[in-house]
Amino acid sequence: MNILLVEDSQTDAALVQRFLRDDRDPHDVRVVRRFADFAVVVEGNSFDIVLLDMTLPDGEGLDLYQRAREVAPTLPIVILSARADEELALAAVAAGAQDYLLKGHVDGVTLKRALRYAVERNRMQRRLENGLAELEHQRANVIRLNAQKNELIATLAHDIRGPLTAIVGFGEMLAEGSLEREESIKAAETIVRNGQRLSTLSDDVVALSRIELGELELDIEQFDFAALVVEEAESRLTQRPIRFVCDADDTMILGDKRRLRQSIDNLLGNAVKYSPNDSPIVVTLHGNSRSLTLDVSDRGIGIPSAELEKVFDRFARGSNARRAKIAGTGLGLFLVRTFVERHGGRISVSSTPDVGSTFSIVLPRSGAGLSVRGVVVLASDRNMREGAAYELRTRGIRVRELTAVDELATLDPTAAPFAIFVDARIADGDRLRALIPQSIQAPPIVEIPSHFLGDELVAALREITEAQ
Ligand code: ATP
Ligand code: MG
C-alpha cells in the first residue's frame, strides 16, 4: 500500500512508520511535514491513502482537512490527531474523512486494519458516486429526449391541423355542389395536395420510429429508378413546373423502392416548399455503370452556409424556414440521408441564399447497401462510447454498447454483430477475438475514429461491405 503521511512531528512520524513495518505486507510510506509539500507531492504520485495530522505549521483542524480534500478529492484521507475532540472528529467524518484516529490509541495492528478498511470504503464510495453521476447523466438525457419528443408532438399537431382544415373545407364546398367547374377542379387539387402532405407526414413519422427502434430493414428489388423519379415528379406537376433531364442510358437499380420513393418525395417536397410559386424545379439524373446521381434544384430561398451541415440532422429546421414561417418537422432530410446511406449512397447539398439549392444523392446500382445487422461499440470512455453509439443510432443502426473488453464474452451467439468498433487504445484485435464466443463468426474489428463522427463511422461500415 502506498501511504502519504502528513506529519510535522518527527517522533510521531517515526512511530507510525514503525507501526506500519511489515515484511509480509510491505507498506510504502512517504512523509511530508507541511500542507504545502503535501499539495505538491500528491499531484504527481499515486498514493492509496493519506494519513493526515490535524496540526501542521501551515494549517490545522477542519479547515486543513477541507483543503486537503480539495487537493486530493478522490483519495481516502484518514486523520491521525492528538486532539480527543469528538465534535471535530464527527465534523471531519461528515465532511468525507474516512476515519479519525487518536494518537496514542492505535498500534500497528489497528492502524493497518484501519487503513485497509478506509481504502476499501473509499473504493465503494467512489463506485457509488460514479453510479450516481451515470444516473444523473442518463436522467439529463431522458429529459432532453422528452423535450424533443414534446416539440415533435406539438409540430405534428400543427402540421396535421392545417391540411385537414383544407381537406374538410374544400370537401364541404364540393359536396354542396355549388362550385363552378374550374373552381371544383381547384378544390379537388387542393384536397389532393393536402392529402399528399398528410401521407408524407405519416410515412415520415413511421419511418422515424423504425429508425429509432433500430428496425429499419431495406426491401431490395430491381427497378427502373428513372421511372420512379418521373412518377414522383408527375404527381407534383399541379404544384410546379418540373423539368426532368436524364442522360443515363440504363437506369435500373437494386434498392428499396418504397424508401427511395420517400426520399425523392421529400426532396421534391422541399424544393416546392422552399421556393416561390411558379418558380421551376429541375430534376437531373446522371449515371454510370456503378452509380446513379439525382440532383434536385430549385430557385428558392436557399440555405445560409453556416447551416448547410446541420440540415440533415434529426429535427433540424433552418432559420430560413422559420423566418419564412414555412411549416415542417425537420424530419425529411434526416430520413433521406438515413435511407440513402443505408443503400450505401451519399447525400450532399449546395445552396446560396435567395438564389436556390441543389440536393444531390448518389446511389450505388448494385444494391451493395449497408445491410448492417447491428454493431458493437466497445470503449470505457463514456464520451467516446455514447458519442459513437449516438451517431450510429441516428443512422438507424442497432448498437450495443460495451464498457469493458471481457463483456465481449456476453455477445449473443445467435445475433453476431456486423462489426465491432473499439477505442483505439484497447484495439488489440487478437486479444479481443479470443474473447468472442467461439460460436460467433468473428466480425471485423474497427478502431473508433478520433472524432467519432457519423460520416467516418458509416464510411468504415461501407468499406467492410465493399470488401465482403
Ligand atoms: P419536414 O420535411 O419534416 O416537413 P422540413 O422541411 O423543415 O420539415 P427537412 O426536410 O429535414 O425538414 O429540411 C431541414 C431544413 O433544411 C428545413 O427546415 C430548411 O431550413 C432547409 N431546407 C431543406 N430543403 C431546402 C430547400 N430546397 N431550400 C431551402 N432550404 C431547404
Ligand atoms: Mg422537408
pLDDT tens, position by position, 123-172: 999 889 888 988 898 898 888 888 878 888 888 888 899 899 999 999 99
CA-based nearest residue to 270, from 208, 218, 229, 321? 321
Residue whose Cα lies nearest atom 21 of ligand 1: it is: 318
Q: Cβ(160) to ligand 1 under 6 A?
A: no
pLDDT at 430: 77
User: Ligand 2 centre and the CA of 335: distance in Å?
Assistant: 10
Hey, is 236 helix, strand or coil?
A: coil
Q: Cβ(163) to ligand 1 under 6 A?
A: no
Q: Cβ(461) to ligand 1 under 6 A?
A: no
Q: Are residues 355 and 412 in the same domain?
A: no
Lowest mean pLDDT among 23-27, 306-310, 333-337, 389-393: 23-27
Contacts of 294 (CB under 8 A, 6+ apart): 225, 229, 264, 267, 283, 284, 285, 360, 361, 363
The Cα–Cα gap between 43 and 313 comes to 43
Quick one: the chain helix, strand, coil %, rounded to 5?
50, 20, 30
CA-based nearest residue to 351, from 316, 313, 309? 309
Contact of 127 with 300, CB cutoff 8 Å: no
Q: Are residues 234 and 355 in the same domain?
A: yes
- What average pLDDT does this structure show over 10-30? 88
Whether the predicted pLDDT of 218 surpasses 90: no
C-alpha dihedral over 189, 191, 196, 197, to 10 degrees? 120
pLDDT at 358: 98
- State the DSSP string of 99-148: EEEETTS--HHHHHHHHHHHHHHHHHHHHHHHHHHHHHHHHHHHHHHHHH
Q: Are residues 336 and 389 in the same domain?
A: no
Q: Are residues 316 and 348 in the same domain?
A: yes
Hey, is 204 helix, strand or coil?
A: helix
The Cα–Cα gap between 164 and 162 comes to 5
Q: Are residues 302 and 395 in the same domain?
A: no
Question: What are 341's three cell numbers?
Answer: 446511406
Count of CB atoms situated within 10 Å of the CB of 457: 25
Q: Cβ(448) to ligand 1 under 6 A?
A: no
Hey, is 160 helix, strand or coil?
A: helix
Q: Are residues 342 and 298 in the same domain?
A: yes
pLDDT at 251: 93
If phi > 0 it is left, if psi is from -120 to 50 it is alpha, else beta; for residue 177 that is left
Q: Tell me whether residue 118 is in a domain.
A: no
Domain's final residue, options 159, 182, 212: 212
Higher-confidence residue of 250 and 392: namely: 250
The Cα–Cα gap between 166 and 172 comes to 10
Gyration radius (Cα) of the chain, Å: 33
Q: Are residues 161 and 188 in the same domain?
A: yes
The Cα–Cα gap between 138 and 135 comes to 5
Q: Tell me whether residue 137 is in a domain.
A: no
Contact of 444 with 375, CB cutoff 8 Å: no
pLDDT range class, residue 450, cuts 50, 70, 90: confident
Count of CB atoms situated within 10 Å of the CB of 381: 14
CATH number of the domain encompassing residue 243 = 3.30.565.10
- At residue 12, φ and ψ (nearest 5 deg) are -65, -40
Say which amino acid occupies 38.
Answer: F
pLDDT range class, residue 22, cuts 50, 70, 90: confident
Domain's final residue, options 188, 212, 236: 212
Question: What are 380's three cell numbers?
Answer: 470505457
Q: Cβ(262) to ligand 1 under 6 A?
A: no
**Ligand 1 atom at minimal distance to the Cα of residue 318:** 20
- Residue 335's domain comprises 220-364
Lowest mean pLDDT among 158-162, 260-264, 327-331: 327-331
Q: For helices 35-44 and 61-71, what crossing angle results, to 10°?
A: 20
Q: Are residues 238 and 322 in the same domain?
A: yes
**Ligand 1 atom at minimal distance to the Cα of residue 359:** 27
Contact of 111 with 20, CB cutoff 8 Å: yes
Q: Are residues 194 and 237 in the same domain?
A: no
CATH number of the domain encompassing residue 158 = 1.10.287
Q: Tell me whether residue 127 is in a domain.
A: no
Q: Are residues 46 and 80 in the same domain?
A: yes
Q: Tell me whether residue 192 is in a domain.
A: yes
The Cα–Cα gap between 55 and 9 comes to 10
Q: Tell me whether residue 270 is in a domain.
A: yes
Hey, is 367 helix, strand or coil?
A: coil
- What average pLDDT does this structure show over 347-362? 96
Count of CB atoms situated within 10 Å of the CB of 361: 24
Question: What are 83's three cell numbers?
Answer: 486532539
Q: Cβ(271) to ligand 1 under 6 A?
A: yes
**Ligand 1 atom at minimal distance to the Cα of residue 335:** 11
Q: Domain tally for the chain?
A: 4
pLDDT range class, residue 216, cuts 50, 70, 90: confident
pLDDT at 314: 83
pLDDT at 369: 62
Q: Tell me whether residue 131 is in a domain.
A: no
Residue to probe by mutation, ligand 1, list 308, 333, 352, 360, most atoms within 8 Å of CB: 333
Q: Are residues 167 and 84 in the same domain?
A: no
pLDDT tens, position by position, 296-326: 999 999 999 999 989 998 888 899 988 888 8
Percent over 70 (pLDDT), the chain: 97
Domain's final residue, options 212, 240, 256: 212
Q: Tell me whether residue 339 is in a domain.
A: yes
Question: What are 404's three cell numbers?
Answer: 469493458
**Per DSSP, which regions of 163-251 are E strands?**
220-224, 242-246
pLDDT at 370: 58
Contacts of 260 (CB under 8 A, 6+ apart): 225, 228, 253, 339, 343, 363
Whether the predicted pLDDT of 421 surpasses 70: yes
Cα-based angle 343, 215, 333 (whole degrees, multiple of 5) = 50
CATH number of the domain encompassing residue 21 = 3.40.50.2300
Q: Cβ(265) to ligand 1 under 6 A?
A: no
pLDDT range class, residue 367, cuts 50, 70, 90: low
User: Ligand 1 centre and the CA of 322: distance in Å?
Assistant: 10
Q: Tell me whether residue 124 is in a domain.
A: no
Say which amino acid occupies 285.
Answer: L
- State the DSSP string of 266-334: HHHHHHHHTS-TT--EEEEEEE-SSEEEEEEEE-SS---GGGTTGGGSTT---HHHHHTT----S-HHH
pLDDT range class, residue 368, cuts 50, 70, 90: low
CA-based nearest residue to 299, from 342, 242, 256, 345? 242
Whether the predicted pLDDT of 193 surpasses 90: no
pLDDT range class, residue 372, cuts 50, 70, 90: low
Contacts of 378 (CB under 8 A, 6+ apart): 385, 401, 402, 403, 405, 407, 408, 420, 421, 422, 423, 426, 432
User: Ligand 1 centre and the CA of 318: distance in Å?
Assistant: 7
Q: Are residues 349 and 400 in the same domain?
A: no
